[in-house]
Amino acid sequence: MGANHEENSLRYRRAQSVTTAEEITEKEKRARRSQFDRPCHKPRDSLFSWTSEFTNFTGLVNWGFLMLTIGGLRLCLENFLKYGIRVNPFEWIIVLTGYNEGKNYQYPSIILLMYSVVPAVISLLIEKAIAADLFTQKLGVTLQIINLLTEISLPVIVLNFSNQEFSFVGITTVCMIYLVIFLKLWSYCQTNHWCRNGTRTKKSKSLRRQSLSAPNSNALVNAEQDQNSDHEKTDDMMGIVKYPDNLNLRDLLYFLLAPTLCYELNFPRTTRIRKRFLIKRIVEVIFGMNLILALFQQWMIPSVKNAVDPFSQMDVVRITERLLKLAVPNHLIWLCFFYLSFHSFLNLMGELLHFADRNFYNDWWNSRNIAVFWSTWNMPVHLWAVRHVYIPITEMGYGKGLAGIVVFFISAFFHEYLVSVPLQMFRVWAFLGMMAQPPLSVISKFVERKLGVRWGNIIVWSSLILGQPLAIMMYYHDYAIAHYTPK
């Protein structure tokens, strides 16, 4: 009896065994605090536990930046000691001005860039002809498709079937501009098609209502006409443009220069230009371009050249070492290019043109899986794909999965277009890399669901850091074999 009584007393004095700290009841907490043993313990989780809800890791972030800075300085010193100072601003001028193209005072890249306005004007003329009933809608759509296909094919045709010499930067710029114009004109034609169908549907409904013979229907029609006239007066007072009043050269040129790929008849506009904001963006563009070119010359080009032999010999260990070594400068340049393009340059154009929608990117760095990354890092392309490809396909009755595959197929095709055309060699590495994104998205979602958001985000960063340099190494290897190997 005495032993049992002592065991029970010990059991009552001991805290209740629980799985997590939150399961301890408030009643037991009060009971413990009422004792005379001066308790100093309370339910708490370790700070690195997810259940602790601790979020202030500023010191660790500072430590991480310091370690990255020290590692970056060491890599810079190693690069300078191994290759010397390779930065040469005079080469930048030669490359950017297309000096190699101007041997006979002919600059084919500049000529093609000037000609890029012609397909846009042709598209405007076709739209005006359709609106004036000079063309049937079927004929007009056919002509627009031919115009778009001719526009995107022109750099390929000129590059392969002419004797003109293009610089790599020149033809790359041409392909990029022509692709942007292609996407803009696609949006321009499709949006005007929506407006045209909507206007005709509205008119046909109005005519049907006016043809009603019932007495009450006339009063209803008159009321609707008065309401429509009120809406029209309000729109006129607010300066709202309606179809087909938008079909003019000034409206088209504004859209071609605006930092968006999706056409609207009435873009949101700002009232003034912020001079301080504009100056900051100009400085960032100038500094960012010089920084990217310097990193290419000093760091990227030597690393890529040194990767040719391991690929030729298929030495897996050396290929891995080259890949990891190339990943750092490539990723740094990619981050600089992202900031330069999506923040500095697009905000610069938006400020100059009073364009109010500056949502050029979302927090892609927090992406929990690959699908979230592709829907947040490049908002102009994402909005274009959703508005002009994804939604129209689903509205036709097809599934979302098929619509997503079509979006990635179009993206993969144009990624390959931007690489293979300037290099003048057809490879499928960029195409396959983009088409690998849907299955990789499924894998990252599975990892996110099973292991948590953090591991899904690690998958995203790993694909960005390692995927791009692998593609660069393969393209440069094929280019070097094709152009520099003695025959």
* Cα(300)–Cα(327) distance, integer angstroms: 10
Comparing CA positions, the residue from 59, 152, 43, 50 lying closest to residue 417 is 152
> 267: phi > 0 → left, psi -120 to 50 → alpha, else beta; which?
beta
Residue 269, classed as helix, strand or coil, is strand
CA dihedral (175, 180, 184, 185) in degrees, to 10, reads: 0
CA dihedral sign, ordered 252, 258, 262, 266: negative
Residue holding tokens 């953090």? 454
Comparing CA positions, the residue from 423, 83, 477, 471 lying closest to residue 309 is 477
Neighbours of 192 (CB within 10 A): 25
Active-site choice (382, 388, 415, 477): 415
* Amino acid present at 308: V
* Cα(172)–Cα(261) distance, integer angstroms: 19
Cα maximum dimension of the chain: 112
Neighbours of 293 (CB within 10 A): 19
Q: Could you tell me if 146 and 122 are in contact, meaning their C-beta atoms sit under 8 angstroms apart?
A: no
* Amino acid present at 34: S
Is 5 an active-site residue?
no
Q: Which residues make Cβ contacts (< 8 Å) with residue 33, sequence separation at least 6?
A: 39
* Cα(211)–Cα(278) distance, integer angstroms: 57
**Active site positions, annotated:** 415
